[in-house]
Amino acid sequence: MTIAKWTVILLVAVYLAALVVLYVRQREMLFPIPTAARTSPDAANYPEAEEHVLTASDGETIIVWHVPAKPGRPVILYFPGNGDFLAGRIDRFKAMTADGTGLVALSYRGYAGSSGAPSEQGLLRDAAAAYAFTTARYEAERIVAWGFSLGTGVAVALASEHRVAKLILEAPYTSTVDVAASSFWFVPVRLLMRDPFHSDRRIARVTVPLLVMHGTIDLAISIVFGERLFALAHEPKQFVRFAGGGHDNLDGFGAIATARRFIEQ
């Protein structure tokens, strides 16, 4: 009986210690900041882009890359995934802007030259600064907000509060809490998570045309979460499933062409 009692006590202690580690380190897991240093567009072989340093409402300095739109063309306001850095997405950016579409791509706080440390509220402040930069140069009716992965939560939050023309969500989720809970089912994630990114609670305030793109074998964010979020959204809306598509490879399945058709509609 004594051995059994101490075994239970040990297991409980290990479990509680694991909870403490997960709570303390959760932002390191949600925001795995790449080791890439700040890189200028020219150094990244992307001279079409201009680098700008913005100041968020809390004083953090945030980097955006801007490719000016051709006359009459739309501009994509792009919110990347949690492990992305701008210089690592050159091929995607070039494909997005090949037809004269403009681009404003955000480097979140703490990422590749932007100051501060990431959090949900921090990223929303960064998005607001990027939106202000964009609307100072383009009418809201030309702005297409595009979020990828973690960035879909940022894009939904922005589109729920600010005027944009359209919204594109690539590999989205209902909330980061839902995604984390599906992986860490043995942990009370809903009580511990500090950055829940509740797109499910915000999407009802989005009234512009919506495109959702998701790979059917996405192992990072299951397509189930994209389907659930889509069900909560208002019309007009489209859901494109890429058969065999994963999380970070949808360009190879036609994501850019799909988005371009949606933007042109």
Q: Determine which helix (DSSP H) or strand (DSSP E) holds 104, and give its type and residue range.
A: strand 102-107
User: Do 108 and 85 reside in the same domain of the chain?
Assistant: yes
Q: Which of 35-39, 125-129, 176-180 has the lowest mean pLDDT?
A: 35-39
The dihedral of CA 172, 49, 260, 249: what is its sign? negative
Query: What one-character DSSP code corresponds to residue 217?
Result: T
pLDDT for 1: 60
pLDDT for 179: 96
Q: Determine which helix (DSSP H) or strand (DSSP E) holds 64, and give its type and residue range.
A: strand 61-67
Condensed to tens digits (0 to 9), the pLDDT of residues 93-120 reads: 999 999 999 999 999 999 999 999 999 9
Asked whether residue 230 is assigned to any structural domain, the reply reads yes
Asked whether residue 36 is assigned to any structural domain, the reply reads no
User: Do 26 and 47 reside in the same domain of the chain?
Assistant: no
Residue 112 falls in which region: left (phi positive, over 0), alpha (psi -120 to 50) or beta? left
Residue 185 pLDDT greater than 90, yes or no: no
The dihedral of CA 112, 116, 117, 118: what is its sign? negative
User: Do 137 and 226 reside in the same domain of the chain?
Assistant: yes
Domain tally, the chain = 2
pLDDT for 191: 84
Average pLDDT of the chain is 94
Asked whether residue 160 is assigned to any structural domain, the reply reads yes
User: Do 187 and 139 reside in the same domain of the chain?
Assistant: yes
User: Do 18 and 119 reside in the same domain of the chain?
Assistant: no
- Residue for token digits 């995607």? 92
Asked whether residue 156 is assigned to any structural domain, the reply reads yes
User: Do 21 and 49 reside in the same domain of the chain?
Assistant: no
Separation CA 32–CA 140 (nearest Å)? 32
Residue 59 pLDDT greater than 70, yes or no: yes
Separation CA 16–CA 193 (nearest Å)? 16
CATH number of 258's domain: 3.40.50.1820
User: Do 54 and 171 reside in the same domain of the chain?
Assistant: yes
Residue 17 pLDDT greater than 70, yes or no: yes
User: Do 26 and 53 reside in the same domain of the chain?
Assistant: no
User: Do 113 and 19 reside in the same domain of the chain?
Assistant: no
pLDDT for 183: 83
Residue 188 pLDDT greater than 90, yes or no: no
Residue 41 burial (CB count, 10 A): 19
The boundaries of the domain holding residue 16 are: 1-30
Asked whether residue 35 is assigned to any structural domain, the reply reads no
User: Do 22 and 130 reside in the same domain of the chain?
Assistant: no
pLDDT for 154: 98
User: Do 152 and 246 reside in the same domain of the chain?
Assistant: yes
Q: Determine which helix (DSSP H) or strand (DSSP E) holds 63, and give its type and residue range.
A: strand 61-67
Condensed to tens digits (0 to 9), the pLDDT of residues 244-263 reads: 999 999 999 999 999 999 99
Do residues 64 and 75 lie in contact, with contact meaning Cβ atoms separated by under 8 Å?
Answer: no
Higher pLDDT, 119 or 34: 119
Whether pTM exceeds 0.85? yes
User: Do 70 and 136 reside in the same domain of the chain?
Assistant: yes
- Residue for token digits 């995604």? 179
Q: Is 215 helix (H, G, I), strand (E, B) or coil?
A: strand
Average pLDDT in the 154-179 region?
98
Asked whether residue 157 is assigned to any structural domain, the reply reads yes
Asked whether residue 80 is assigned to any structural domain, the reply reads yes
